[in-house]
Amino acid sequence: MKTSMMKHNWLRLLCILVCLSFTAGMSAGAFAAPPDRDGDGYDKRSDCDDNNAAVNPGATEGPFGDATCSDTWDNDCNGLTDGDDPQCQGGVTCTDNDLDGYGSPGDPSCPNGGATDCDDNNAAVNPDATEGPFGDPTCTDTWDNNCNGLTDVDDLSCQLVDEVCNDGFDNDGDGNIDCADSDCAGESACTAGNKLTVNRVTGTVLGIGPDDGLWNATAATSYNLAWRDDINDTCPPEQSCSGNQPSLTVKAIHNGTDIAFLMSWTDVDQSSEVYQPSEFGDRAVIMLNANRICQMGSPTNPTNMWFWNAADKTQETEGSYGSVQNLLGGGIGTITHTDGDDNIQAVSSYAGGMWQVVMSRPLAAIDPLDQFEFTLGVTTDVSYAVYDGAFKQRNGSKWISGREAINIAP
Amino acid sequence: MAKGGGGGGNQIAMLINLDKCLGCHTCTVACKNLWTNKGGREYMYWNNVESRPGEGYPRNWEGMGGGFQGGQPDPGIFPANSDYGLGDQGQIVDFDYPTRLGHDPDNVTPNPGIVDADPQPEWLSNWDEEQGDGTFPNSYYFYLPRMCNHCDRPACLESCPRKAIYKREEDGIVLVDQDRCRGYRQCVRTCPYKKVFFNSETLKSEKCIFCYPRIEAGEATACAVQCPGRVRHVGFVSDASSDVYRLAKDLKVALPLHPEYETGPNVYYIPPFSGPSQVDSNGNLINVERIPVAYLRFLFGDEVDAAIATLRDARANGDPDGILAILNSNNRYDIPQP
């Protein structure tokens, strides 16, 4: 019995050895597994795209809004691609009232992506809309069309970039620099002999009037003024607002500490009292750091204006008319009355159909952020404007010079 | 920013029940004492009460344009000083109070004059008081309190080249930023209700501020609180649970003044609907409206017919919608508390 058992065990061992031999031969030969071509751990038996490592049964497709839901691949090899895959169907939560493809709040399920629509009740306003260029209706529609937080003229894309005629740069991008640009034709920076030199004098300059003897030895520079009416409805259709073209001359002097400008211009009607809603005072403006003068400067390069109004009684002195304000302008509609009135003085007279207004100030600004700071020996751009109150001229309706230059003598 | 500078959709509004207004001008006095009694504002009436039919204040303001036509702005015209009763040089007309009040018994005249005016004024606020229209015994008039409408699309705001006018996000109140205003007065022209006034002392424009400091403190406007007739309700017309919304937007019994100006006014009026009808030569009531509906249509548009019908139905049939209950309520203000 024992011999028989041993015999059976021997046969069993033999059988196991044969079986092991057979199995080893199979793995090394005719029954080998297919290769994993994309190296993602899955061969073609389970990988539905063995040429794309991002696609295999272990990959994830979704959730809704994920890039895997819009890559045209069946990432998780469940036979359903992108939006057909339930894992990509997270539900459309986009609220798009104006149907422009953008929601508020922004939502990836919106047709044009997840950016926020800043006015979801206006299809003309969304992050991909265009605002500008200058002159386009989108610059005057009171909407922030492109949702960049800046409306109309506040948006740089709506601002006209003027050529600055003496800075050595092609500011307006037309390929012409400074005086080579036809935009600079007639500008004093490009016209020999028309530049106003602010000569140094000895004596008091601050607070002087038009009759002060210091003006006698100072040459006057004449300017051609052009009519502008930027506010279309300022003038009723039946009325001409331009009146008569004023003849303007300017003198300027400094004494090393203070500077004074004398503006003299023709105006047949004195308007220095405002009694009615329809009455306006005569006004005059000196714009310093003049740039983009039709736009009143730019947000990054504001102009500084000394704005004299014959009807403004707030700082009027005896024997004179009007008061002057210190303004900053960084684009149309941005003019702001800032600190700084206190160091500008205005003394004026009206006689024989002519205004004479002296505006004077220390060369040093109260604050360079509020006022232009004069530097001896340096040329700067300046522009002038006058308003005839009898013709209801105000705001954009005025007579203006070009962008002129003054040289502050050392 | 939404068209017209509109805010976040929150809009406070005034509802004025013309059926109860007794023409006492207490609202005007309250406003004037609080805001416009000095500093170049003496001639301004941010709130005034007009007898209608009449020319109002400034005189013939409805003929001065402004607002929008077919969505396009109408530039309007300036009122003249004489339309406000101001002198040619801005003199403010005042009464001869010592004489008029009998303080000077030696100088009492039956018709005490107006002093400090040369020439004598031809118009003032309330100049045509209770003149009305019609022929005795069927003559008629009613009172129309007026103030800035704090419009949905303020023509003043859109026309301001200085961006000095803004509409508050939190309550839709329209304000003139006095620091930004430069006195170009486009708003004076373009407001079709002529409720922006020019201050010739400050050279800036001013208007009703809907008593915003009071609103921010949870208080109603001075004109509303002081009204002895309790004709004014204040609430957010943007809030569907408010009484103002219910009467103006839901039941449409309160209507804006001159909706054809296209500015979306936010002062709503219950039209005068419960006065007596006309009488015949024997003094018997006849079935003819004393206040012609055509005139009410001129003020409030064609919807006034349905509004009056609804109001009369409420009175005749037990007020099923609670309209009269709201109008007679002592709880007339729905203003968030700070």
The residue among A276, A308, A324, A397 with the most chain B CBs within 10 A of its CB, best to mutate, is: A276
Q: Token match 């004069």: residue?
A: A374
Q: What confidence tens digit (pLDDT) does each residue in B32-86 have?
A: 999 999 999 999 999 999 999 999 999 999 999 999 999 999 989 999 988 998 8
Residue A229 near residue A397 (C-beta atoms within 8 A): yes
Segment B9-20 shows an average pLDDT of 95
**A234 in reach of chain B (CB within 8 A):** yes
Segment A209-232 shows an average pLDDT of 87
Note whether A312 contacts B203, CB cutoff 8 Å.
Answer: yes
Q: Model confidence at A291, in pLDDT bands (50, 70, 90)? A: confident
Q: Give the closest of A143, A334, A395 to B1, CB-based.
A: A143
Q: Which chain B residues are Cβ-neighbours of A278 within 8 angstroms?
A: 78, 80, 185
Q: Give the closest of A144, A333, A396 to B1, CB-based.
A: A144
- Whether A22 has a pLDDT exceeding 60, the answer reads no
**A101 in reach of chain B (CB within 8 A):** no
Nearest Cα to Cα of residue B83 among B194, B192, B191, B184: B194
Torsion of CA A165, A169, A174, A176, to 10 degrees: 70
Tell me the C-alpha distance between A155 and A139, whole Å. Answer: 8
pLDDT of residue B62: 97
pLDDT of residue A3: 43
> What is the average pLDDT value for chain B, to the nearest integer?
90
Segment A278-285 shows an average pLDDT of 94
Segment B23-36 shows an average pLDDT of 97
Q: What percent of chain A has pLDDT over 70?
A: 83
Note whether B1 contacts A151, CB cutoff 8 Å.
Answer: yes
**A148 in reach of chain B (CB within 8 A):** no
Nearest Cα to Cα of residue B188 among B69, B53, B81: B81
Bigger pLDDT: B9 or A265? A265
Give the residue from chain B lying closest to A307, CA to CA: B182
Bigger pLDDT: B19 or A232? B19
**B92 in reach of chain A (CB within 8 A):** no
Tell me the C-alpha distance between A394 and B133, whole Å. Answer: 42
pLDDT of residue A178: 74
Q: Model confidence at A182, in pLDDT bands (50, 70, 90)? A: confident
**B75 in reach of chain A (CB within 8 A):** yes
**B118 in reach of chain A (CB within 8 A):** no
- Whether B190 has a pLDDT exceeding 90, the answer reads yes
> What one-character DSSP code corresponds to residue B46?
S
Q: What confidence tens digit (pLDDT) does each residue in A123-181 have?
A: 999 999 999 877 778 888 889 999 998 888 788 777 766 776 666 677 776 778 777 78
Kindly report the backbone phi and psi dihedral angles of residue B102, in degrees, each rounded to the nearest multiple of 5, phi listed first: 80, 15
- Whether A223 has a pLDDT exceeding 50, the answer reads yes
A103-107, A312-316, B125-129: segment of lowest average pLDDT: A103-107
**A235 in reach of chain B (CB within 8 A):** no
Q: Which residues contact B37 (CB under 8 A, 6 or more apart)?
A: none
A32-46, A160-174, A203-217: segment of lowest average pLDDT: A160-174
Count of Cβ atoms closer than 10 Å to residue B42 Cβ: 15
Tell me the C-alpha distance between B325 and A116, whole Å. Answer: 45
Tell me the C-alpha distance between B57 and B93, whole Å. Answer: 15
A227-236, A376-385, B211-220: segment of lowest average pLDDT: A227-236
CA A267 to chain B, closest CA, distance in angstroms equals: 20
pLDDT of residue A62: 82
Tell me the C-alpha distance between B223 and B27, whole Å. Answer: 4
pLDDT of residue A90: 63
A74-83, A271-280, B115-124: segment of lowest average pLDDT: B115-124
- Whether A7 has a pLDDT exceeding 50, the answer reads no
pLDDT of residue A9: 54
CA A361 to chain B, closest CA, distance in angstroms equals: 23
Kindly report the backbone phi and psi dihedral angles of residue B10, in degrees, each rounded to the nearest multiple of 5, phi listed first: -75, 130
User: Which ipTM value was assigned to this complex?
Assistant: 0.75
A175-184, A360-369, B194-203: segment of lowest average pLDDT: A175-184
Residue window 127-166, chain B: list those with CB within 8 Å of chain A: 158-159, 161-163
Q: Which chain B residues are Cβ-neighbours of A281 within 8 angstroms?
A: 203
Segment B102-121 shows an average pLDDT of 56
- Whether B122 has a pLDDT exceeding 60, the answer reads yes
Q: Give the closest of A236, A274, A337 to B200, CB-based.
A: A274
pLDDT of residue B157: 95
Phi-psi region of A350 (alpha: psi -120 to 50; beta: other; left: phi over 0): beta
pLDDT of residue A194: 59
Note whether A277 contacts B89, CB cutoff 8 Å.
Answer: no
